[in-house]
Structure 1
Amino acid sequence: MTSTPPTQERTALAAQPALAGALSTVRRNIAAFGDLYPDDTTQDDRYPLRPAEGIFAEGGNRGWTTSFWPGMQWLSWEITGDEVFRDAALRHAADFERRVRQGEDLDTHDLGFLYTLASVAPWRLLGDEDARQAALLAADHLMKRFLEPAGIIQAWGDLSDPAQRGRTIIDSLMNMPLLTWAHEQTGDERFADAVRRHTIQLRDHILREDDSTFHTFYWDAETGEPLRGATEQGAHDDSCWARGQAWGIYGFALNHRATGDASLLDAAWRCADYFLAHLPADDVPFWDLVYHDGSDAPRDSSAAAIAVCGFFELADLEPGTVRAERATSAANAILDSLVARYAPEPPEASDALILHGVYDLPKHNGVDEGTLWGDYFYLEALTRRALPGWKPYW
């Protein structure tokens, strides 16, 4: 288990301007949302509750983004030691246990995102056994999506859905840590084997020869034959969606840490070098890396925040090396730009921790808004910089 810093150190950390602004927003949102869940993105800088849908009431625990909210609460508790944050996160942990036990909205690979932040985090921090059991149940559910011939975990939808059959996406790299953790907890090799095979398939097929990435890739689920790459949220099938490239940086790095496979570290750096080479002057990417300085295309602050966490992870993997210095320098430059140009000023001007994110531009969804994942990774990035040696939940 990890522990929060001593009281004096916590007070100093929470007083840092960027952290102070972010923490005040998390605190304000806890008061506003109670035990309910905000929507994926803001609308005019304010988070509405998640819309009612089917069996789910307004503010219900459905979809792939709800765990970023308790994830922010755990980070806030680690920084401050304030029980307001811990208690809110524990109430959400209980709700995530209910969700997995009742089988609600589990047909997704994003069980990794959901249960790493909502359940593995309280196990790591507090030794919460109920949260541990919920995370193990989620890992078992996630393994049901492993397609043996292809060696991948299917991303979306019912496994019999022909439109989704054999499809995975680069985001899935961030779902593998739940399986790595489950292997550590149980010794069950099927979890580790799935991580190794899935990440190798993405290394070989979703990462292109020029070091850019596809958003999605299809395999023949029966034969395992790789079929084609495509986009879902990028500009074109052959362009490079910025958030996907950022998932590649962080996801390949985390899976190198888990497996020791040097080729995954190389893949992370290939993603990183391409990302850096395609940044505009202010170091925050356009929503797709096909755009350059002078374009009026929207930026995606969430891609920047994810990349910062990936660069800090790369630095931690090779301490004292030239590459670690380069990764740290990149992380700090991008994070400094987010703090200076993308954090709301004053913090009360928005419910989001950072502005100007993009969810899904082709579908006109969440464009130039705050995003739950952008907020989480921004706060994780600030935490990584403020607390050297901090252990991620992933």
Structure 2
Amino acid sequence: MNRSVFYPLLLLILAGTLLSACRVKQAGKTGLDAQFVDENLQSAIAQYKVMMEGLPDDRLPKSYTAAQDELVTSGSGSWTSGFYPGTLLLLYEFSKDESLLEEAKKKLAIIEKEKNNRGTHDLGFMLYCSFGNALRLTGDTAYKKVLLTGAGSLSSRFDPEVGCIKSWDHNGDKWKFPVIIDNMMNLEFLSWASRESGNPEYLDIALNHANTTIENHFRPDNSSWHVVDYDPETGEVRGKQTHQGAADESAWARGQAWGLYGYTMMYRETEKKPYLDQAKKIAAFMLKHPNLPEDGIPYWDFDAPGIPDTYRDASAGAIMASALLELNHITGDREYLAAAEKMIRSLSGEKYKAPVGENGGFILLHSVGHLPGNSEVDVPLSYADYYYIEALMRYKKWFLEK
């Protein structure tokens, strides 16, 4: 071939190859585009404004019953009380819509007294998801005081003999010192409090709890029990159960998601490799499980009877998606990003996402709270919405705004 023809042709081929590679890299990096993310956040705002109109001033939303077209609400003492103001604050962060901030502030005033509540391990959910976001976004130091008081209340439930924070005080005839996998989610609150107060005790409690949970909560396949009961006098394990799952030896989906999120977060907070290793093991169990559906949204229990003709749990899917985004952000492993993108797309589709104006203002459909207790089965739940919005906001920050 004539060189005058060959070299220009070669340059064209090389340029085309480079352009194609750039396109592949960009498409892989941003599997969800900015328009998709922003539209879903905008529709979430519209939904929560619907909810705002129907919500009593002194109540917080938990769920919704379609048959009665009625919001299911709670007072400040519910473990779910912080999710509604937390979601409003995340949506305010996106939109700068002052009406969302004002509504959140009204609900924070209701929840504030829970800073003195020493009868629950759920203060991370109740206070850090709400007041933590409020402090981060507004800088109001009054919120910091509430949080530090709440961290003191939470830490009062730690038993050094057991090495954990006690979860439940009820059913004393059944459990002496029950610790549930959900409790991992409260450790971010204590880690924050340690930094902000200069008190190393808070972080020591978080580390002890995380380490004891690794030792006792996980099976050889890296799934977890829901409840481990300890003898507070000796610290020995008395029993292991899966209270909200299909059976004691089953893998309750939301419990697996709490563990994944909790250990990913603990690695972020401490950079201790065993926590990252544990998060990866949990992720592998979930993502490679033969019963994980193609759309990435798990059944309410990975071992639920009747699969595939049983309930999905959008709340578990939302928690997983948010956790996997952070696990990718830490490790760069594209498997985690691809799985999270699939889950977010699924949750944003018509199967799981309610049309604006419906569902009592809740964003997501098809979550499961406690199926064995016949409580909150196949309904919207406030924490499903919270972690879905958190996942969208994380995606926007980490993958679209660089």
TM-score (norm 2): 0.85
Query: Which residue among 100, 122, 127 is the counterpart of 1:110?
Result: 122
Query: Which residue among 215, 224, 232 is the counterpart of 1:221?
Result: 232
Structure 1 residue 36 corresponds to structure 2 residue 45: no
Query: Which residue among 134, 139, 143 is the counterpart of 1:127?
Result: 139
Residue-by-residue CA offset, 1:127-156 (whole Å, 9 max, x unaligned): 112211111111101111001101000001
Contact 2:259 2:282 in 1 (8 A): yes
Offset of 1:49 from its aligned partner?
4.4
My pick for the range that moved more, 41-50 or 326-335, is 41-50
Offset of 1:293 from its aligned partner?
9.0
Structure 1 residue 22 corresponds to structure 2 residue 44: yes
Structure 1 residue 350 corresponds to structure 2 residue 350: no
Change (3 A) 1:15 1:64: closer
Distance 1:301 1:203 in 2: 26
Q: Indicate the residue corresponding to 1:81 in structure 2.
A: 96
Query: Which residue among 330, 341, 361 is the counterpart of 2:339?
Result: 330
Structure 1 residue 310 corresponds to structure 2 residue 323: yes
Distance 2:305 2:343 in 1: 16
Distance 2:353 2:232 in 1: 45
In structure 2, the residue corresponding to 1:347 is in which secondary structure? coil
My pick for the range that moved more, 194-203 or 59-68, is 59-68
* Structure 2 residue identity aligned to 1:259: T
Offset of 1:310 from its aligned partner?
0.5
Distance 2:127 2:296 in 1: 31
Contact 1:122 1:131 in 2 (8 A): yes
Distance 1:82 1:328 in 2: 30
Contact 2:118 2:156 in 1 (8 A): no
Distance 2:306 2:72 in 1: 35
Residue-by-residue CA offset, 1:217-237 (whole Å, 9 max, x unaligned): 111111111232101100000
Distance 2:365 2:193 in 1: 35
Contact 2:354 2:364 in 1 (8 A): no
Structure 1 residue 361 corresponds to structure 2 residue 371: yes
Q: Indicate the residue corresponding to 1:68 in structure 2.
A: 83
Contact 1:13 1:386 in 2 (8 A): no
Q: Indicate the residue corresponding to 1:7 in structure 2.
A: none
Counterparts of 1:1-394 in structure 2, within 5 Å, are 16-33=38-55, 35-44=57-66, 46=69, 48-50=71-73, 59-100=74-115, 103=116, 106-157=118-169, 161=172, 163-278=174-289, 279-291=292-304, 295-318=308-331, 321=332, 323=333, 325-351=334-360, 352-388=362-398
Name the % identity.
31
Offset of 1:74 from its aligned partner?
0.4
Offset of 1:316 from its aligned partner?
1.6
Offset of 1:162 from its aligned partner?
5.2
Change (3 A) 1:298 1:273: same
Distance 1:314 1:161 in 2: 37
Distance 1:365 1:122 in 2: 31
Gaps of 5+ in 1: 1-11, 51-58
Distance 2:62 2:112 in 1: 21
Distance 1:181 1:240 in 2: 30
My pick for the range that moved more, 213-222 or 34-43, is 34-43
Offset of 1:94 from its aligned partner?
2.4
Contact 1:205 1:217 in 2 (8 A): yes
In structure 2, the residue corresponding to 1:73 is in which secondary structure? helix
Offset of 1:106 from its aligned partner?
4.2
My pick for the range that moved more, 14-23 or 108-117, is 14-23
Q: Which has the larger radius of gyration?
A: 2
* Structure 2 residue identity aligned to 1:175: N
CA-based RMSD of the aligned residues comes to 2.2
Contact 1:286 1:292 in 2 (8 A): no
Contact 2:81 2:111 in 1 (8 A): no
Distance 1:171 1:295 in 2: 26
Distance 1:110 1:47 in 2: 26
Distance 2:86 2:232 in 1: 34
Residue-by-residue CA offset, 1:19-64 (whole Å, 9 max, x unaligned): 22211111221222153334422212855242xxxxxxxx521210
Distance 2:123 2:47 in 1: 26
Contact 1:40 1:371 in 2 (8 A): yes
Tell me how many residue pairs correspond in the alignment.
364
Distance 1:76 1:344 in 2: 17
Distance 1:305 1:247 in 2: 11
Gaps of 5+ in 2: 1-33
